[in-house]
Structure 1
């Protein structure tokens, strides 16, 4: 049992340490070195509270029209630009989807369905995080998200990414009991791995806070060209590493950021670079989870 102070564990107990150099070789379909999954975050933001912002001086205003409208560009314009670019290079999205987006942006859901994109749960909206709430409340939220996405898309989500990658100590357990198979909150590996949960099973899929346009543009101040270069550099190293054992490259994107005209062309440049290589598997999250599970005999 993990050591605790009060009721908060000092050790998570979800998995043991594992050095990637000591694992059995991971082989992807058709000898691919890298499994690429692209995660567009399709989100809904509440009008009465602050959230992701490009200008800080208005974040205390209610309403903060400047930043709200800047975010709203993503579903009105940016996602459509992303869809066009991704379809051009044969890349299917695995969407981190706020369930509120199903209600407010049905045209986006319909378009994603026509492109055979996958949908994973991403909380109710991106103004509410999963932390500091009772277990029963978290369970209600997860059930509502799963139910809403299932009704809107015809398929129950198999994966989960929390808003701002937030969790309680019970999150993986609650996800597993609601039929979710993989979670992307834990950004600590280049390969999937099993997590311990109270019942059922849970797989961690690699996600990134660095190959992420939010970090790149809002935290690090990178230009679109800089981020495009970083994506290519990330891929080149993982492609080299993948000669010995398969790797996962996640590309984590927000339509109100990468979908801006001055950045989108660098996203396209990066996809062109990646798809010019032969040993690349353009995968969706569920496909990666299924392959990993089947090759590990679970």
Structure 2
């Protein structure tokens, strides 16, 4: 399907599936919930607006106020996030802008030392996937740059702003990507139809997500910590019947501030204090699901 063709009213990527009609899903060692933590580590271009905490300057070029506020994440916030996660034995699955490899190699070095995983997240967070004239070339360039920068070819993908064209999934599959987190419509993995190869959707969240909580809803770090715990408690209860996936979606320029990170730490303490919880990475979840239940 070309970018120039008329937009279909229905997609054909997967059939409807009611979770109550599925056979029970079982995680390794009887875990009720597979929890994966996704730090979004990003690079922003200086000549255009992006995520903003103050609206008054966001259309200025340059917007020093909001640009430097975002820049706090890679200079300070990510290091606090790493310390909190390491304290509780949690490995990140990083949604990584390829430009991070070039501009902030120190972060890649530290992430590799912690055993973190890297999945594709576009070239930078100022470039969305929808509307790219040479999207296939862009996808391949991102995958190649992350492989060169981290030492490992990414197998997962989260588009900037979860943006896709009608061709994105096919292009990702052709580039060797095996799971995608753009579709926030489930609590279990499910296979997606692509032209070649295979593709798995892993649960991601726009609700258990610091961007939505802090910037869209204006809530506090304490409220976000409570949301994480409440979400976990509900999934833990449901997971006794059939396994669930919980995604905790983070941005170091948000949760990396001390007044927020302390509540993130309390939430991780709550989660990791429970038995039958699998603190997993994206690759681990995708591999287990594919091996046990198949990708098609």
> TM-score band (shorter)?
over 0.9
* Structure 1: runs of 5+ lacking an equivalent: none
**1:71 alignment partner in structure 2:** 70
**2:273 alignment partner in structure 1:** 276
Alignment of 1:1-298 (within 5 A): 7-134=6-133, 137-298=134-295
Listed one character per residue, the Cα deviations across residues 200-242 of structure 1 (whole Å, up to 9, x for unaligned) are: 0000000000000000000001100000000000000000000
Q: Take 1:249 and 1:65, find their aligned partners in 2: how far apart are those partners? A: 35
Q: TM-score, length-normalised on structure 1?
A: 0.97
Q: TM-score, length-normalised on structure 2?
A: 0.98
Listed one character per residue, the Cα deviations across residues 68-96 of structure 1 (whole Å, up to 9, x for unaligned) are: 00000000000000000000101000000
The alignment covers a number of residue pairs equal to 293
Q: For residue 60 of structure 1, report the CA deviation from its aligned partner.
A: 1.4
Secondary structure of the corresponding residue to residue 80 of structure 1: helix
Q: For residue 34 of structure 1, report the CA deviation from its aligned partner.
A: 0.3
Listed one character per residue, the Cα deviations across residues 171-219 of structure 1 (whole Å, up to 9, x for unaligned) are: 1100000000000000000000000000100000000000000000000
Q: For residue 133 of structure 1, report the CA deviation from its aligned partner.
A: 2.4
Q: Could you list the runs of 4 or more consecutive aligned residues of structure 1 that deviate by over 6 angstroms after TM superposition?
A: none
Q: Take 2:80 and 2:101, find their aligned partners in 1: how far apart are those partners? A: 19
Cα RMSD over matched residues?
Answer: 1.2
Q: For residue 61 of structure 1, report the CA deviation from its aligned partner.
A: 1.0
Secondary structure of the corresponding residue to residue 144 of structure 1: helix
Secondary structure of the corresponding residue to residue 91 of structure 2: coil
* Structure 2: runs of 5+ lacking an equivalent: none
Q: Take 1:45 and 1:60, find their aligned partners in 2: how far apart are those partners? A: 15
Q: Take 2:170 and 2:153, find their aligned partners in 1: how far apart are those partners? A: 18
